[in-house]
Amino acid sequence: MTHRQLGTTGVRVSPLTLGALNFGKKTPQQYEDSKAVLHAALDAGINIIDTSDSYHAGESEEVVGEVLRERGRDDIVVATKFNRPNGDDPNRRGNSRRWIFHAVDASLKRLGTDWIDLYQAHRPDPDTDIAETVDALTDLVRAGKIRYFGTSTFQAHELVEAQWAAADRRLNRPVTEQPPYSILVRGIERAVLPVAREHRIAVLPWSPLAAGWLSGKYPDAGGPEWSRRLARQPHRADPSNAANQDKAAAVRELTRLADEAGLSLIHLSIAFVLQHPAITSAIIGPRTVDHLKSALDAPQAVLTTDVLDRIDAIVPPGTTVNPTDDGHVPPSLTDPALRRRAVPSSG
């Protein structure tokens, strides 16, 4: 694979990142599949693995760690994340210095390594000053526990605030952002991607196949795979949802376009993501080696201007067909107290 520079770091990564969301040890089959996918991805030239301390309660990191020991650590770029709740205690989550220092040591232990290449805030934390987070992560770089740090699903203004906080305090700055991005989820084109280009932030988008909608299997929506998705995220998979009906209509048009272009829908979809100049590497999350193999050649596909224009006609730039696919809804939209002035009770 032709490697791409990770922002301003000088580190070079493959255009596909192996996402470890599906890796775990819940069953012997899941464990064996997880290790097989990891080895196959590394054999194919993928050199960056993205996991999180929240994936299968840390089991994903453990499986990645086992493969690191089997394959050797030095040539693999390991990315993981913190922020998600880890128990009922209110301090075992978020982006505070206290939790970051605890979480990084736990991740290092599960991964069986002395350092993490890229440590990412899994979501914004409105209760913690971004300067505290950047300061704590800078200390981890100086301590040698992490090499770089980044963010995931931050809004454009939050990316800028993090850059300003780092510059103002002469701290290390976040070098990556990990947002959702696909043909069906194009909201980040409005502001996040322009901001990332302006500040030379590497972008590692997740779900380029829109949680399976662009895998070419949507017509089998009644199968076991879709049943799992429906149970896990009904708002994103329920075919009776009006927004999901719009997604289904778009998928049918995109499938026809892929056929006309001589591509699989998977290759069309991943190539679309990789062709944006702000994108560094697309995160794919295969459960099996066959899933992995179906995506490996996607970086070699080049979409013509005509094909890109037709994609824009199906899903206009900056549009997320189902807004719930944006990955994170800020408290300013979910908490009425943040968008309404206090008024006397009507009682």
Which residues are known catalytic residues? 55
DSSP letter (8 states) at residue 269: H
Q: How far apart are CA 281 and CA 117, in angstroms?
A: 15
Q: Give exposure, 146-172, as e/b (b: 16+ Cβ within 10 Å).
A: bbbbbbbbbbbebbebbbebbeeeebb
Question: Quick one: which of 206, 237, 289 has its CA closest to 16?
Answer: 206
| Terminal Cα distance for the chain, rounded | 67
Asked whether 19 and 62 are in contact (CB, 8 A), the reply is no
Q: How far apart are CA 28 and CA 30, in angstroms?
A: 6
Question: Quick one: which of 218, 203, 178, 191 has its CA closest to 327?
Answer: 178
Q: Cβ atoms within 10 A of the Cβ of 28, count?
A: 8
DSSP letter (8 states) at residue 206: B
DSSP reduced 3-state for 48 = strand
Q: Tokens at residue 131, please?
A: 């300067």
Asked whether 78 and 69 are in contact (CB, 8 A), the reply is no
Question: Quick one: which of 27, 328, 47, 19 has its CA closest to 180?
Answer: 328
Q: Tokens at residue 68, please?
A: 């690191």
List, edge to edge, every strand of the sheet that includes 16-19: 202-203, 176-178, 146-152, 116-121, 77-82, 48-50, 16-19, 282-284
